[in-house]
Amino acid sequence: MLDKLIFGRFIPGESLIHHLDARTKLIAGFYFIGILFLANNWQTYALLTLFTFLVILMTGISYRFFIKGVKPLIWLILFTVLLQMLFTSGGTIYFNWGPFAISSFGIVNGIYVFIRFVLIIFISTVITLTTTPMDLTGAIAYILRPFKIFKMPVQDIALMISVALRFIPTLMEETDKIMKAQRARGVDFGEGNLFEQMKVVVPIFIPLFVSSFNRAEELANAMEARGYQGDKERTRFRILQWHLGDLIAALALVALTMALITLRIS
């Protein structure tokens, strides 16, 4: 399951989304997450879901492959939804025991939270799937440029964020290999009480941390050997440029926002 996580990977392509400026995709992603909170009924959530699936369609990536790629995160989302349902009251009460209650308002709110989380994951994954690491680093550095007046190392922060995103699939693959090796040695994950399960997880985290630190040191040595200095003004081989497609994407988000406001009020 862990090796199917696609968040943080880049898949080359010639789709409309691939050709958008990295800054447009990054800003649009944050903007989309912000307008998600404008949704308050099934019409608005249906519109946001339709918009998200249209964006996925425009990437040229199969829906089936895309959904399989985010399956490892579904259990975390369901756990959050369960907490939302148990601790949110209102409307008709179906079950009540101490601080826990299941109500009609809690169920509806839980469904909305589930949709919201899934859409955030989908849009975030679209950004990483269609943007090269170099373009993503340049976009983050461009957005953080105003913080240079506070002597903030913008280029280093952008590089760290980009590398962290790209290392997610690598860490997941490493975790999967360690778990398979532990199973071959007789370790049974998911058995016993909570304390026993926590003890079983320790042999996973220790080698994972060791390999992560070794990989980080190798990366740092490679960058140092190539003379990397993030605090220096550097030229770029690939220059980010706005195109007509970026303007159309911005107008599409404006139209989506106006439609959400209209459906929210009606």
Q: What is the overall mean pLDDT for the chain? A: 79
Beta-bridge mates of residue 103: 93
DSSP track, the chain: -GGG--TT------STTTTS-HHHHHHHHHHHHHHGGG--SHHHHHHHHHHHHHHHHHHT--HHHHHHHTGGGHHHHHHHHHHHHHS---SSEEEEETTEEEEHHHHHHHHHHHHHHHHHHHHHHHHHHSS-HHHHHHHHHHHTGGGGGGT--HHHHHHHHHHHHHHHHHHHHHHHHHHHHHHHTT--TT-S-HHHHHHHHHHHHHHHHHHHHHHHHHHHHHHHHTT--TTS----SS-----HHHHHHHHHHHHHHHHHHHHHH-
State which H helix or E strand residue 184 sits in: helix 154-184
85: amino acid identity, one letter: M
Is 231 contained in some domain? Answer: no
Q: Compute and round to an integer the Cα radius of gyration of the chain.
A: 22
Is 15 contained in some domain? Answer: yes
State which H helix or E strand residue 94 sits in: strand 93-97
pLDDT band at 198 (very low <50, low <70, confident <90, very high): low
pLDDT of residue 216: 80
Indicate yes or no: pTM above 0.85: no
* Mean pLDDT, range 35-52, rounded to an integer: 91
* Mean pLDDT, range 138-157, rounded to an integer: 78
Is 29 contained in some domain? Answer: yes
Is 85 contained in some domain? Answer: yes
pLDDT of residue 191 exceeding 70? no
Structure tokens at 116: 């919201």
98: amino acid identity, one letter: G
Is 255 contained in some domain? Answer: yes
pLDDT band at 192 (very low <50, low <70, confident <90, very high): low
Is 30 contained in some domain? Answer: yes
Do 56 and 66 meet the contact criterion of CB atoms below 8 Å apart?
yes
pLDDT of residue 59 exceeding 70? yes
| Between 191 and 39, residue with greater pLDDT | 39
Domain count, the chain: 1
* Mean pLDDT, range 152-175, rounded to an integer: 75
Kindly state the DSSP code that residue 151 receives in the 8-state scheme.
Answer: T
* Mean pLDDT, range 164-183, rounded to an integer: 77
Q: Please, what sign has the CA dihedral across residues 139, 145, 150, 156? A: positive
Query: From its phi and psi, is residue 206 left (phi > 0), alpha (psi between -120 and 50) or beta?
Result: alpha
Owning domain of residue 256: 2-166+240-265
Give 209-232 pLDDT, tens digit per residue. 888 888 888 888 887 787 776 666
Do 130 and 116 meet the contact criterion of CB atoms below 8 Å apart?
no
Is 208 contained in some domain? Answer: no
Is 203 contained in some domain? Answer: no
List phi, psi (to 5°) of 8.
100, -10
